[in-house]
Structures are given as structure tokens and as C-alpha cells.
Chains A and B, each alone.
Chain A
Amino acid sequence: MSFFGLPQNDLEEERRKYLEGGAKEGDDDLQVFTWGEDNYDGLGDALQEGNDELNDETFGGIGQVGKDFDFSQPALPDFDKPARNAQDPGKDQVAAARQQQPQSQQKLQSPSPHQPLSAGSAGTSTRNAGQSLESIWDDKSPFAVLGRVNGASSTRPHEQQQPLLLPHHPQRQVLGVPTPPPSQPVSKFSPFLAHESHLLHQQHALQGHGARPRTLQEIEEEMLMALQAKQREEEEQQLQMERLQVLRHQQELRHRQELQRQEEERRLLEMRQLQQKEIQERLYEQQQYQRLLQYQQQQQPQQQRTPPPRMLPVSQSPRFLEHQRQQAAILLQQERQQQLLLQERDRQQQLLQERRQRQIQELLEQQEMERRMAQASLEDKHHWQQNEIRGFASEHQHRSFNTPSPARHLQQQLHQGRISQGAIPHENISLNQQQSLQLQQRLLADMTQNEFSRDLHGRNGQPIPQDLSAEAMRKIVEAEHQEERRRRKAHKIAHMARYNDLMTQSDKDFITRIQVSQLVTQDPYADDFYAQVYGAILRSRMGLQAHDERVIKFGSGGGIGLGLAQKGPNRRPSAMQRMEQQVERIVNNARKREEEKGLHSIQSLQGALGKTSGRSYKAAPRQLLQVESASPTLSPAHAHINKASVYNEGAAKEAAKLGLEALGDAHQTAEIVRRDPLTHRETLVILEKLYDFVLQVEQLRRDQPHADEDPEDFQHWQAEYDQTVDRIWENVNVLTPLETSTPHPFISLLFPTKGKKLLPRLTRHLSSDKMLTLLTLLVACFDQLDVVTLAPILDSLVETPERAEVERQTQAFLGSVMQSILPVVSVAELRLVTGLLSLLLHRTNIVAVAQTRPGLALLTLFLSRVEVIKQTVASGAESAVPTPEESQAWQMMFDHLFQLLAPHLLLLFPSTRIAHTNITGQPPAAPSSIDIVDQPVWQFLAALALHAVTEQHQILVTALREKVLDNVLSVNKGWVLDEEERQTKLANVNLFLHALGLDSSQIAL
């Protein structure tokens, strides 16, 4: 072939040869020849690149691009590779035997599109690949030719090329300019040339082997050639592999598409089978979902097959897949929407056409009937028309899959009952049916047109189609609406589900861990204090167990406060449980880690490189002066300042007193050093200290370990607890001698509201004898209490801040202090009660005390306790029966009390006192309130009456007659309008009268 003809030829041939595939092996020489051409430039590269995987990869990649282009040629679609594969070896042999392939043969074989994977290409790779790689191999590095000798000894036939190729070599090297190989006719793929060259090769081979010794250069080049050839073969192979993969992939894709299409078609067919409108709609809906489902099912296996997310590269992570899937689903939906739109249009068109046709039909019919032409022919014509219309209609219906057509509806109505209208599986059948329907219709028409032509008009005519079409229209619109709604819903769901499963369970766990770690605190109870206390109150109100603390504790400190228990069964509890479990797991893990750390004693290394300050210096400015206020030893520089302030006059006095006290102790005298009563400030300071201790004790109580579980721990705890309680006891100042000060320090502590409120919390931890001591002190100093001394303020109805304050204090006292001593008194023996009463009578002004609410409460408490004791004795309970002396002592003490109080009985009533002080006659703000404040007095009098003997009763009645009568009269005469007040008054009176064995109703007016 001529030099100039080559380019076109080359391309053509290249493709052909490539397509030919297996035949290439035959072109041994040809290939060799081609490589020989490349040899010049690829020399060095080849040597270097031998068995270099990276390079192979690189080149392979480039090669692949080229091939892809080639592959997109028409040869692609056919996929009969296996057959070719099978043929290849044989062909190979044949080709090898012949050594050369005529062009005609190549042409014959050209349809073969694919390269065999294994067969001939392994031996001698295709020229095509070489050609496509030419750009890479060509002229890249002139010095590559300088060549290296490598150990590969080759006796392959390739070496035969050498002599022929040699002449080009120096040329290029000298020029130093990359000259494109196509300029060499030898390099081209002309079979003729190849043939020639082959012949030449043979000659050379003969010469080389037989006659003359080869030069070093020759040998070198031979070796290089061999190497290059080998490498190229490898690359070729690789390329082919890749190409095959691509192909296979494409094929697969196409196959899948095909399948999908088929499926779609199948589905369409299915849809066509359904005839009734409602069923159609429903089915369509189902199918849509089904399709989605199917799609998902198709996708699911893929997803399942994907390895766990952590092992995947980023791009292939499940969320990526998921996303793709979602997008695909959306696309699908859009497609469907379009289809629906098209369908809709079809439907409408169809409707229009049908209506038109019906009109035409009717016209025809009318004409027919008017003219009264020959029936048979006319009928034929008419039915032909109808037939045509039907055909058209059905066609239409089938094209636009299964739209609810009025025509069909009409048919159904017309032929209802004549032909079963069940689901007809196939188009053919339905067509057949239609034909039969038409036949029947014709018969019908034959019959009816003779006799009931009018009737026929009515039935076949306009009214029915109109109604039906309207109906159909309505239904269509309805269906559209539904469809629209459904679509929107589906879209919304899809939209929401877009991010489904984006997070793995471990991700979620991780986040939970972060969140939970924020909740862990050293002291969950205190940090969540309000919630805990509120929860405790709520629980007690709901009647749940108080010990059910909503705190998760983690061994040595730290924990999480849980919220309140959920009311009612909802889904929150399970979430809470899950959370708790998680937290427990996390904490356990953390603990384990901690233990491991401990094992490896990493902590010993902590701080080895110096400490980091945990404190932010932004928050705390640098400390200029370092004064330790807690330590008494002061630096000399500051000593004088502090001395001046500390040892002021008051302090000096205090010191003197202390010295005196110490002196007194030293002298062992019983003389009591009087001190100034605690100032308000001191009281507050002590109270705050007490609060600290109380809180500490309460915390200890909560942390109380089980005595059985850990005795040592319990002992330790017990010691700490006792110590704290002792400190409380110290600070309460109960043991301070009575005469130390007035008021007594303990009473001073009860002045502030918080002191009163602290007492019940404090007494809970005190032992019973300590409590007794406390009670005794309290009774002994009862008139020192602010609530007693300030009680007269309450005997005024004028609202002043002072009164409000006293009222508040009194409430606090009754609510807290009395409550705290109640349990002690309620178990006290008669002797003790007698003692307490005598103490009260001797040490306090009982009349004044009795005129206060706290005093009355205390007295009532004593009296009722004795009454209880008396009753238990009377009932013969085995409890400690008081000795006669004790009873006698009590009676004496009671008589004394009665004697003291008798003259002032009326004054016990706040109402009387108010009346006395309030001479101006200012009406009380709230009338009923007087009766309410009187109530404790009535109660006390009732208690008094219970213990009183007959003479004392008489005294009582005489003293109180006026008061009683007053109350009863005011009720009976209707002076009191308020029903509630009346009730209170009566109840008050009765309270007292019942104690005497009387009732208000017995009083005759």
C-alpha cells in the first residue's frame, strides 16, 4: 500500500482489526513490526517500567479512555462474547500457522465486537492497543533510547525486527525532535507492508542466527524490544480487561433497563386488564405503591450487600446510596406525574371525541328512522359505525391505560347482566367481548328498531351519555383530587424520609453520650435540688413511696438526677428507660476504663510535666495580696492592723468574760457567768452554721450505707453522722445554763423565722433524751419567746407591719417548733408532763403565757397528753401505769394551774381582749376571724374541763356562762347572717360543753 493512502486506511483497518479480536494473534509479524517502530522512544521507559504496577495502572487508564471511545461505536450492542471466546483459540492457532491474515478474512471476522479475555491476546497483544497507545509511547524521551541492558535474555522472534528498525534510531536521536511515527510507512498497518517486513524479518533471522555475530547494540535492542513487547502485551491485556468490565457493566445496565421496561410494560398490561373505574383507581394507587415498594426491594438487596459504613469509602457510604435511591424515587414520581398528565389529556380528548361521535351516531340514527330506509342495510351501516367507534374507543382506552371512559361505562350499563363483566385478563379477550357485545347490540337494535324506535332513542340517545359523562367527569375530577393529594402525601413522605438512616446507631449513641455527659454531676441531688424536692413533694402527694429517688448514682460520687416520674402510660417512659440503660452502660464503661487506668497507673504520670492551671485567669484577676483570713497567725506586716480591728472594745470585754468563766470553772463554783444575750447578728451567724450542719446531716442521711452490706463503711458513716449531730447539739446551746442570759441563747435562736423553721429539721436527728432536755429548756424559758412577749400585738385588729410580723412568727412557731416537740410530748410519761407543767407554772407567768396562742397550745398539749394517759390506764393498757403519787402530783399541779387561771378565764379569749383594747368600738375586719382565733381557747377550756372536778366545773361554767350564752344567742336569734360563722360559733361552744357533758341545744333561752 502506498504511503499517502495510509491514513484513511489506517483508521479503517484499525477498527476492523480491533473488532476482529481473535484474528489479531495471527498478525504476529505485523504487531512485532509496529512495536519495532515504537522501540526507539520507548526504550528507556520500557526498562524502567518493567513490572511497575503504578505505571501500568497509569497507562492502563489512558488506554482505557481511548478504548471507550472505540467501544461506543456501533459494534457495541451485540454481546456474543462467549462464542467468540470459544472460537478464539482455534483461530489463534490457525492464524499462527498461516502467520498472516488476508484482508478479506479480516473483513469476514470484523463483526466480532469484543476482545477475548484470555485467549490469543495473552500471547501477542492486539495492534490496536498499541496504536492507541502510540501517543504515549512515541517520541517522548529522546534519551530513552540510550538504553540499559537488563537481565532479560530473550530469544523471541521479536529480535528479528532489529536490523530493519535500526536505521531509524540514530536519525531520531540526532535530530532530538520528536517525530511522529506515522511518517514512517513501516509503522503503518498495511498488511502488505507487514508482509514484506515479515519476510525481511525472516531473512534477518536467518542471517542473525546462522551467519554473523550480532553487535552489542543489536543484542541490547533485542532485549529491549522483547521487554517492550511483553509489557505492552500486559497492558493490552489489562486494557482489554477493563474494556470488558466496562462493557459488561453497560450490558448489565442495559439489561436492567430492559427488565424495568419490561416490567413497566407488564404493569401497563395489568392495568389494562381492569375495567371498572373504581377498581382502576384503587389498583393504580396500589400499583404506585407497589412500584415504589418494588423499587425499594430492588434497591434493598444492594444496600444489604454494601459493607458496613465504616468500611466504605466516603462516596459509597450508605447515605450516599440512600440519597441516590431517594433521588431515583423522586425522579420516578415525576415521571409518573408526567404520565398522569398525559393520561389526563388523553382522557379528555377521548371524551370529546366520543361525545362527538355519539352525536353523529344519533344524527345518523334519527335520519335513519325518519327516512325509514331498508333496515338491514341501515342497521349494518349503523353498526359498522358503532363498531368503528367502539374500536376506536377501546383502542384509545388501551393506549391511555385504563382511563375511566364514559363509553365503556355506557357499554357496561347497556349490557349489564348479559355478559359477565368481571376482570378480563387480556386485551384480546376484551376485544372479543366487545365484538360479542356489538353483536348483541345489533340484535337488540334489530329487535327494537322495528317496534320501539322511540325507546331506543331514549336509551341510546343523548340523556344517558350526558348524565354519564357528567358523572364520569365528576369522578375523574374526584380521582384527580385524590391522586393529587396522594401524590403530595407521597412526596412529603419521601421528602421527610430523605434523611432516614443517615445516622447509624453508633452515631446516635455517641450523641446521647455527649448529652448525658453534660448531665453527670458530683452531687445529683443538690444540683438538681429544686426538681428533687419538688418531685419528693409531688410524690408524697401522689402517694408514692418517698424513697423512690429519681437519682442515678454512680458509685463514688457523680450521678444524674432524673426528672419526675411520668404520669400515665405514654411513650416517654420507654424512652426514659432506654436513656437510663444507656447511661448505665456508659457509666459502667467509664468506670471500667477508670479501673484500667488505675491498673496501668497512668495517674502516677499525671502532672509529671507540670501542672496546667484549671482556672481561667480572665475570670479571676491576679491576686496581689494574699491574706489568709482563716488563719489566726498573721504576717507581722499586717498584724497591727488586724489587732486594732479585732481587739476592739467589745472583743476585749468578751475576752474578759471568757476569762472570768474560765476562772469560775477553775474555782469549781456553781456560779453562773451571766452573758449578754446573743445579738441578732450572732443568732443569725449561728443559725447559718446550724443550717450548714443540718444540710450536711441530711446529705449524710441520704448517703447512709446499709449496715449489713458494708459494716466498716457503715461505722465510718455512723461516726461522721454522730459527729455532725454533736456539733449541731453544741450550737443549739441547749446545755448552756439557764441563767446565762435572758433570753437564753437557745431561745434567741428561735427568734428569727428561719430559726423556728430549722428546729423540726434539726430535732429529727437528735436523740430522745436530748430532745427531752431541749423541751425542758423550751418550757422553762417559754415566756422569753418572742411569740409570747409580743403576743399582745395580736390583740389588735389594726393591720400593722409589726402585727403581720408577729402573726408570721406565731404561725411559724406553731407550725415548726410545736410540731417538733409534739412527738416528744405525745410519748411523755405522766411524771414528765407533771414536771414540765410545774416548770412552766414556776418559771413563767402562766396567766400571760396562757393568753398567747403558743402558750395555750402548749398547755392544751400537756392536758391532752395526760388525758390520753388516763384513758389508756382506764382501758387497762399494759403501758406504764402511773403510780398513785404521780397521779396525785399531777392532780396537785392541775389544781394549781386551775387556780391560777380561774380569775382570768375570760381574758383567755382573744375576742374579749380585743373588745377590751378596742374600746372605740371599731368593728373587726372579718367577724368570723374572731371565732377562729377563739377556737384554740375553747379547745383549751374543753381540755381543762375534762380534767376538772365538779367544783372546778362550776367555776368554769360560772365564768364562761356569759360567753357561751352570747355565742348561742347570737346564733339562735339569727344575729349572725353568715352560715359559716354560725357553724364556727356553735362548734366552739359545743367543743367546751361536750367536755362538760352538755350540748348547746340544751341551753334554754
Chain B
Amino acid sequence: MDFQRSFNVTSRAAGRSATRIAISFREVGFNLDALAMDPSASGIQEPFDLIRLSLSERVFVKLRGDREVTGILHAYDGHMNLILSDAEETIMIVDTESAPNGQSVVNVAKRKMDMLFVRGDGVILVSPPART
């Protein structure tokens, strides 16, 4: 329990520092506040703020190389390096050779990890999981 709490604490700090170092996308001229329902209430100023919302939440991460990961986001940085706990990785393996009539077969491999560091250069998208 103690560890859990402290871990949460650290992840908070990580989020904070990440926002501090993040590149400000305001310069691109994209007004993200427009996306928010309540402009005055949200402190969203850059894409990373959106990711920040998902801290300590389960996220879906799409990665290069036909990989997907879901896990609870604990920390991220300006490179989109992520730390996920309770993560499940899904790897799509497209097998074109063994298929009979030119059709490729997609094999799905899954694996679980308690804690995962995702290197930012492989991240394509980060999103909250679909809610019902």
C-alpha cells in the first residue's frame, strides 16, 4: 500500500515535469481550447495536457510495428516515453507466406507485463480506452 501510494506520488511529479518541458503547441496555431466543452474550466493548452488527463488511467497506445498496448499510464515525457503498469501488449503478425490463396493471415500475439516502459519514438497514438 505504501508503495502504491508513493508510486502514485511519483507519477504525479512525472506528469508535472512533463508538462513543464513539453513543447508548446500553441505556436502551431491550433486552438485546443476550442475542443474543450468548457473553455474556462479546462487548463488544456497543448496535446500533452490531454495525455495528462489520462494519468493513472487506462490508456490505449498504438505503436509502430503493428503493436498495441493498453495499460495504466503512470508517467510520460516530452518524447512520449510512457510508463505503463498492468500492461497488455498486442502484436499483430501478418503471415503472408503460409496463407493458401494469397490471403494473408493475421496472427495476434498477446503478452502481459506488470510494468512497462514504452519508448516514445514508437508511439503513434495514445487514447483513453473506449468507454461504454
Contacts and interface: CB of A to CB of B under 8 A. Distances in A.
Contact of A530 (B10, B26, B42): B10
19 contacts: A529-B10, A533-B6, A533-B9, A534-B6, A625-B29, A627-B29, A627-B31, A642-B31, A646-B39, A651-B38, A684-B54, A685-B43, A688-B53, A688-B55, A695-B13, A752-B56, A754-B8, A757-B8, A815-B1
Contacts of A752: 56-57
Contact of B53 (A642, A681, A695): A681
B57 A754 contact: yes
A753 B56 contact: yes
Top 10 closest A-B pairs, CB basis? A625-B29, A754-B56, A645-B34, A684-B53, A529-B13, A685-B42, A629-B31, A623-B27, A627-B29, A757-B8
Nearest to B3: A537
Interface of A: 526, 529-530, 533-534, 537, 620-621, 623-625, 627-630, 632, 642, 645-646, 650-651, 654, 679-682, 684-689, 691-692, 695, 752-754, 757, 805, 815-816
A681 B53 CA distance: 8
Nearest to A534: B6
B107 interface: no
Nearest to B46: A629
Contacts of A620: 23, 27
Contact of A695 (B8, B12, B27, B31): B12
A632 B131 CA distance: 32
A689 B54 CA distance: 13
A645 B37 CA distance: 10
B114 interface: no
Contact of A630 (B2, B45, B49): B45
Given A642-B31, A645-B34, A684-B57, 9 more contacts: A529-B10, A529-B17, A530-B10, A620-B27, A625-B27, A651-B38, A692-B43, A752-B56, A754-B55
B26 A685 contact: no
Nearest to A816: B5
Nearest to B16: A695
Nearest to B35: A645
Interface in B85-132: 128, 131
Interface string B14-25: 011100000100
Contacts of B32: 629
A654 B38 contact: yes
Contacts of A691: 12, 15
- Interface-centre pick from B5, B28, B56 (highest chain A CB count, 10 A): B56
Contacts of A642: 31, 34
A679 B38 CA distance: 11
A526 B9 CA distance: 12
A915 B17 CA distance: 49
A689 B43 contact: yes
A682 B38 contact: yes
Interface of B: 1-2, 4-6, 8-10, 12-13, 15-17, 23, 26-29, 31-39, 41-45, 49, 52-58, 72, 128, 131
A634 to B, nearest CB: 9
A822 B56 CA distance: 24
A72 B43 CA distance: 92
Contacts of A754: 8, 55-57
Contacts of B27: 620-621, 623, 625
Nearest to B28: A625
A650 B37 CA distance: 7
Contact of A629 (B10, B15, B26, B55): B26
Given A682-B41, A685-B44, A753-B56, A526 B13 contact: yes
Contacts of B54: 684
B57 A753 contact: yes
Contact of B34 (A526, A646, A650): A646
Contacts of B56: 752-754, 757
Given A529-B10, A629-B26, A629-B32, A682 B57 contact: no
Contacts of A681: 37, 53
A695 B14 CA distance: 12
Given A530-B10, A684-B53, A624 B41 contact: no
Given A537-B6, A620-B27, A815-B4, A654 B37 contact: yes
Nearest to A687: B53
Contacts of B37: 650-651, 654, 679, 681-682
A641 to B, nearest CB: 8
Contacts of B5: 757, 815-816
A687 B1 CA distance: 22
A688 B43 contact: yes
A662 to B, nearest CB: 15
Contacts of B49: 688
Contacts of B72: 753
A266 B52 CA distance: 85
Contacts of B43: 685, 688-689, 692
A210 to B, nearest CB: 106
A715 to B, nearest CB: 28
B52 A688 contact: yes
A805 B56 CA distance: 13
Contact of B26 (A529, A534, A627, A654): A627
Contact of B41 (A646, A686, A805): A686
A654 B38 CA distance: 9
A525 to B, nearest CB: 10
B21 to A, nearest CB: 12
Contact of B17 (A526, A651, A654, A687): A526
Contacts of A682: 37-38, 41
A549 to B, nearest CB: 15
A632 B40 CA distance: 9
Nearest to B42: A685
Contacts of A526: 13, 16-17
Nearest to B25: A629
A648 to B, nearest CB: 8
Nearest to B4: A815
A924 to B, nearest CB: 22
Given A625-B29, A754-B55, A533 B38 contact: no
A842 B56 CA distance: 34
Nearest to A646: B34
B8 A624 contact: no
Given A654-B38, A688-B52, A688-B53, A629 B13 contact: no
A556 B15 CA distance: 25
Contacts of A689: 43
Given A642-B34, A654-B37, A685 B13 contact: no
Nearest to A527: B17
A646 B49 CA distance: 19
Contacts of B34: 642, 645-646
A680 B12 contact: no
A691 B9 CA distance: 10
Contacts of B31: 627, 629, 642, 645
A687 B57 CA distance: 12
B64 to A, nearest CB: 25
A620 B6 CA distance: 35
A695 B52 CA distance: 15
Nearest to B41: A685
Q: Which of A627, A630, A685 has the most CB of B within 10 A?
A: A685
Contacts of B28: 625
Contacts of B57: 684, 752-754
Contacts of A685: 36, 41-44, 53
Contacts of A815: 1, 4-5
Contacts of B29: 624-625, 627
A661 B58 CA distance: 35
A912 B56 CA distance: 34
A832 to B, nearest CB: 28
Nearest to B52: A688
Contacts of B8: 754, 757
A639 to B, nearest CB: 12
A71 B50 CA distance: 92
Contacts of A684: 53-54, 57
